[in-house]
Amino acid sequence: MGLQTFFRSLLPKKAERFFGLLERQAQISHDAAVALATFSTGLSVAAVGKHVQEHEHAGDKLVHELEEALVKTHVAPIDRADIHALAIELDDITDLTNRAARACELMGITEPSKAMTAMMAVLVKTTAELAQAVPMLRNRDYPGIFAAKARIRTLEKEGDRVHRAAISELFRTPEIDAKVLLREREVLEDLENAIDHCEKVADTLSNLAAKHG
């Protein structure tokens, strides 16, 4: 029996359920980011918004399921407050991704700008890192969590550079229409917030790794 399998065998089945819920949430945040990124492939903004919102609804259901499980379960694999905080933070990523999709639709953006496309790609990468890092809690792969945090921090800085450059260009281009400026800035800020939340989750994961390692 491997070390990871041994640790998993010590957990009551009901307690291990929490890991599964958190892992599903991390995957949903990634699925929502991938759905949003399809906007750059020519898919209509309405179709993109619909797909992203489906993931957002699925994420909300998982939060409710996890909260109900916390009430009914006496033994949790890690601190109950930590489980709940991580669940909310993961859900926030999906919510912000959905907010970016809604902003595109409400403001009449028919295709993403180069900066939007670049930031969507960064969001896909950061959520992919989280989808791989969250299962490391179950397996107590704490070095893996720290390594993932470092990669996510690098991606967050990349997203920040794209955001700053795009905002600077918007305000330095005299011929740009004010409505275009406002709607582009709104979407870019939503995307930046989603990426920032990925780093926040990575921080939470690394804190848990330090706490339980």
Question: DSSP letter string over 187-207?
Answer: HHHHHHHHHHHHHHHHHHHHH
Closest CA to 87 of 60, 122, 56: 60
Torsion angle defined by CA atoms of residues 96, 101, 105 and 111, in that order, rounded to the nearest 10 degrees: 140
- Residue 101 and residue 113: Cα distance in Å, rounded? 14
* pTM of this structure: 0.89
User: What's the pLDDT tens digit per position in 131-159?
Assistant: 999 999 988 899 999 999 999 999 999 99
User: What's the pLDDT tens digit per position in 54-68?
Assistant: 999 999 999 999 998
- Which CATH code for domain 13-212? 1.20.58.220
For the cut 60, the answer to whether the pLDDT of residue 79 exceeds it is yes
